[in-house]
Chain A
Amino acid sequence: MNIEQLDFYTQAILSLAALVGLTSFLMLGQGRLLRLIFVFAVQGFLLALTTAAAAYSLSNYHLYISAALTLVLKVILIPWMLRRQVLKMNMHRDVEALSNNTAVMLGGASLMLFSYYILHPIVQTSSLVMLNALAVSLSVMLLGMLLMISHRQAVAHVVGFMSIENGLFFAAIVATHGMPMVVELGVAFDVLVAAVLFGIFFLHIRTSIDSLDVDLLNRLSEVDK
């Protein structure tokens, strides 16, 4: 089955998948925190849109709930919280110099290829075209990790962490049309609690090292100093 034979919703979902992947790349190359948070919110919005499109085309109504959950958590609540932190810390003028940006980007592209490669056997097991987006969801996860590795700000780490969760939600939608409701609610609850905990942590880190640069968290190490 080729893409031109699919219905419009599946095409839209695939295109949105590609755009979600793009937002991950945009986050990877973003040195300004406020823009990073904005791109993260955009990613959440695209995700909510995808979920809603999937809910409509599969007429699976509980997906609407997870779309709403994504919208509230990932587009409004968490970006708002992070934004407030950044403004309060007066970090919105700082630009983080990203070393090796091009290498990180190319690394990201190869991670995408890598996730395609490892998930290929799974994608082959079904004739469902939507499953193609599974590789994108895994690469969103891996790119989230790369984001955490390449950035030093704690806020950026939280964004990376949350975008990993975005990748997971996305995987759940494209592979299984959403997990069972109880699991989905549980995961959303965990994300919410994690978000609150991150807020508390910002406070703790700030009081302990007077900055949110996690590279300064380097007291514990295996190497003798």
Chain B
Amino acid sequence: MIVAERKPFDEIKEMTKGFKKVLNVGCGGCTSICMAGGQREVGLLNEELKNAWAQEKASIQIDAFTIERQCNADFFKELDQIVKPYEAILSMACGAGVQFVADRYPNKPVFPALNTVFVGVDRDLGWFEENCRTCRECVLGETAGVCPLTRCAKSLFNGPCGGTSREGNCEVSKDTPCAWFEIYKRLKEQNRLENILKVKPAREWRNQTRGTLIQEAFKTRYAK
């Protein structure tokens, strides 16, 4: 799941400055689940914005609307009608959703109300942890299900480095577990320690360019 957090309030307030009618659009997908940009969070933010602008005696109308997903055109039908009278849009989706909204309404300024932080898992209620950086060259099969890119402070693909403590912590911080120590422990348990000796070549870092993925079964459908 994509995890996001709300931007500092002053930053959001500054974005809405100078507009008379703003629509805050929530997302019912990932940002709703991580409790950053669902219908409730849209309502809370709008109340804060209204109060803040009222204190400065600024006349601004901020309305709310939540769609099920801001990353899929199928869910925009109603928003298309609602958005017309507004001067600007505040989006409480992830970065992908914000761009999708901006592409759909190119004549309107679209502002992100959230910072997209990572792809992660739910540890507990309101507690999320980063587990993947979508590098496109997954090595989890070799590293016993521990991602060295995400969980090693130096993102080393050939580890461990010399900074691992006897207790298995990273030199960066005593509270940070060493990913490679974890990899070693698990590989040993699985009798696959030879994996750690394999030298992994330099990576291509293809994720520096914009990605597009068409699943195999759909390749003929979208062939140009």
Tell me, yes or no, whether A binds B. Answer: no
Binding site for A on B (CB under 8 A): none
